[in-house]
Amino acid sequence: NLGIIGEVMVNDFDRPKYGNYLYGAYGNEFMTADGRRVMVVGLTRRQWDGLCKVTGLKAEFDALGSRLGLNLNQEGDRFKAREEITALLQPWFQARKVEDFAQPFDENGITWSVFRTFKQAIQEDPDFSVQHPMFSMLDQPGIGEYLTPGSPFEFSEFERLPPQRAAVLGEHTDEILSGILGMSDAEISRLHDDKVVAGPRP
């Protein structure tokens, strides 16, 4: 999105809205036979060649390019023909389930992914599990146990720090009063008795 700043300042006009089309090359979303929605990208030549191969639509794409006077091996020309390319691909995806093309897409270097709700992502995607080093199961008092991300940064000289639970309200009251403010036990007790401060609720 930051690149749009330079584009506006140089060209002096706002980029039109293109929906889910990938700007400058080819990419779009498709509905599959099993009711899933996928995003497919043909940005690089390798990705485009893979898409042509797996879908078996290379001849149709070549004919489309000839009809439009475009070379669909070029990113910019694929963007110009994005709607026509989509019209050819839509029936292909509508006739297939995700499981029908997932493996050949991966094997042929196609960039793609299934749109997921957060619930689906947690149930299906190993990157949303403890298999990913950034995540751990954390037990938060008063809430329960759930998947929690830690720091996204990893350094070779240091262990990755696990996520920490949030403090309970009042948990560190005495520690702060004594350690930071230097108050005595008697002074802290008096504040508790006068209900000026409080510790964690039982």
Residue carrying the six token digits 């990113």: 75
The whole-number average pLDDT for the span 86-98 is 98
In a domain, residue 133? The reply is no
Q: Which two tokens stand for residue 80?
A: 């110009």
Average pLDDT of the segment spanning 20-30? 93
Could you tell me if 25 and 79 are in contact, meaning their C-beta atoms sit under 8 angstroms apart? yes
Using alpha carbons, select from 11, 34, 30 the residue that is nearest to residue 19: 30
Q: What is the average pLDDT across 148-167?
A: 89
Does residue 12 register a pLDDT over 80?
A: yes
- Which whole number is the average pLDDT over 29-46? 96
Domain count, the chain: 1
Mean of pLDDT values over 104-111: 96
pLDDT, residue 1, reads: 66
Do 72 and 85 contact (CB within 8 A), yes or no?
yes
Please tell me the predicted confidence (pLDDT) of residue 86. 98
pLDDT of residue 109: 94
How far is 148 from 145, CA to CA, in rounded Å?
Answer: 9
Q: Which domain holds residue 14?
A: 2-115
Q: Which of 136, 201, 122 is nearest to 164 (CA)?
A: 136
Identify the residue with better confidence: 69 or 8. Answer: 69
> In this structure, is residue 45 part of a structural domain?
yes
Q: What is the mean pLDDT of residues 5-18?
A: 83
Q: What is the mean pLDDT of residues 150-157?
A: 89
E-strand ranges in the chain read: 26-31, 37-42, 111-114, 135-140, 144-149
Share of the chain above pLDDT 90, in %: 77
- CA 146 – CA 139 distance, rounded (Å): 7
Residue 79 contacts residue 24 (beta carbons within 8 Å): yes
CATH number where 60 lies: 3.30.1540
pLDDT at residue 139, as a whole number: 93
Asked if the structure places residue 120 within a domain, the reply is: no
Distance between CA 175 and CA 188 in Å, rounded?
10
Between CA 151 and CA 122, with CA 163 as vertex, the angle to 5 degrees is: 85
Average pLDDT, the chain: 93
pTM (predicted TM-score): 0.71
Nearest residue to 199 (alpha-carbon basis) of 170, 158, 156:
170
